[in-house]
Structures are given as C-alpha cells and as structure tokens.
C-alpha cells in the first residue's frame, strides 16, 4: 500500500522485505541476525575490507538488492556459509587458477 505525504510517495513499511529494516538497524550499529543466517550455501552479500557478511540468500536478485541498499563497498558472491556465523567462503573465478 502506498500513500502520499505532500509531494513524496512512500511505501508502507509492512510491505518491505524484512532485510530492509535489518540493514537500517545494522547501519545504526545495532546487532541483528543476518538474513539467511541458517543457510549453508547461497548468494552472500559481503564487504571485503573490513570484513562484513550482511546476508545470505537463495536468490541472487535478493542479494543484489541488499548490496545496492548497503552501497558500493558491498558485493555479491556465491559460496558456502557456516549457519549462525559470519563465516562465508567463496572462490573468486578470476584468481582460482592464479590468473
């Protein structure tokens, strides 16, 4: 449901994906579980330096949406995740064979 306040149109918060609110809390420094924290593999949204795993998703589109919200420092990689942790491993295809 959308509503208009002045000239700005807003979307009802109840229709937003849960990770949007969680990402906002994370930016404010609040500790929140990551989306997909129990998945063992999927599309990870991560920042390399300093390391931050923002979420793991079954669908790349969801991961790309979160990365876009978090900013240019975040990237999406497919890999394995240790449930309940920030451990996420992936193979960079450009460096996998010393290239």
The pLDDT tens digits along the chain (99 residues) read 222 233 333 444 456 666 666 666 666 655 667 899 999 999 999 999 999 999 999 999 999 999 999 999 999 999 999 998 899 999 776 665 555
Distance CA 46, CA 73 (A): 8
Cβ proximity of 37 and 56 under 8 Å: yes
CA distance 86 to 52: 7
pLDDT for position 3: 28
Give, as one character, the DSSP assignment of residue 13.
G
93 C-beta neighbours (distance < 10 Å), count: 8
- Its pTM stands at 0.64
Give the start-to-end residue ranges of the domains of the chain. Answer: 34-99
């Amino acid at each position: 449901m959308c509503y208009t306040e002045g000239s700005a149109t807003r979307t009802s918060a109840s229709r937003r994906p849960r990770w949007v609110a969680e990402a906002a809390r994370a930016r404010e420094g609040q500790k929140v579980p990551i989306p997909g924290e129990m998945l063992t593999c999927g599309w990870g949204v991560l920042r390399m330096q300093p390391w931050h795993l923002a979420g793991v998703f079954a669908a790349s589109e969801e991961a790309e949406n979160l990365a876009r919200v978090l900013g240019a420092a975040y990237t999406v990689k497919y890999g394995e995740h240790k449930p309940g942790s920030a451990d996420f491993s992936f193979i960079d295809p450009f460096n996998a064979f010393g290239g």
